[in-house]
Amino acid sequence: MAVQAPIGTMSRSQTQRRKRIVQTAAALAVRGGVEAMQMRSVAERAGVALGTLYRYFPSKMDLVVAVVTEELDLLEGGIVRRPPTADTPAGRAVDVLLRATRGLMREPELADALVRSLIMAEVKIELDVRITDLVWRVATGSLAVEGAEEGDPDIDREGVGYVLAGSLTSVWIFELVEVLKGRRDVDEVERRLHIAAERLLAAF
């Protein structure tokens, strides 16, 4: 079984090749959803051998996770450049989740990929933890602004506040599913997220 190489150990050319593969997969997902991200199609369009693709991404879900992770990187970068300005932790947390919702709704097929990656048991990277970390850091005011020195705050993932932020993330995932099914619009999601956040994060 192929083992995915750690990103930090890749050469510049390998990193560029990996990025090209991820961008190719994302383009296919936008047009045809996760089903369109066939490994052979991705390899052909990215100009790499199928065996090379499997060295970077041992399974299709690993590739889906990479695509979604890149979207989360873009989301976090935008939030660092333009942090939420709400006065309350609940308001800031909802701002993050609404930005994520609106961004994903511009590419519904990628939104579908995100939801699938969050609920599929075989995914090795806990994307729900990544999202909860971001919500928690923004809500508590511990997200570094652009230009500040790098360094993640010490996150107590067993603490009550973090667990409640995780519960809010779970509510958001459910609401995102409802939007994808056509049973909610973004305005209704915003209303429901505000209600949930104000109750869950009241003690922050």
Domains, in order of start, for the chain: 1-58 (1.10.10), 67-200 (1.10.357.10)
- Tell the residue number behind the tokens 């779970």, with chain if given: 170
Give the mean pLDDT of 52-73: 87
Q: Kindly tell me the burial class for residue 111, based on how many C-beta atoms sit within 10 Å of its own C-beta (0-12, 13-18, 19 or more).
A: buried
Average pLDDT value for the chain: 83
Check: CB of residue 101 under 8 Å from CB of residue 189.
yes
pTM above 0.85, yes or no: no
Amino acid present at 10: M
Q: Kindly tell me the burial class for residue 160, based on how many C-beta atoms sit within 10 Å of its own C-beta (0-12, 13-18, 19 or more).
A: exposed
191 has pLDDT over 60: yes
6 has pLDDT over 70: no
162 has pLDDT over 70: yes
Give the mean pLDDT of 183-198: 94
User: Which one, of 166, 163, 142, 165, lies nearest residue 152 by Cα?
Assistant: 142
**What integer pLDDT is reported at residue 148 of this predicted model?**
40
**What integer pLDDT is reported at residue 1 of this predicted model?**
44
**What integer pLDDT is reported at residue 90 of this predicted model?**
95
**What integer pLDDT is reported at residue 10 of this predicted model?**
76
Of the pLDDT bands very low, low, confident and very high (cuts 50, 70, 90), residue 103 is: confident
Give the mean pLDDT of 150-176: 84
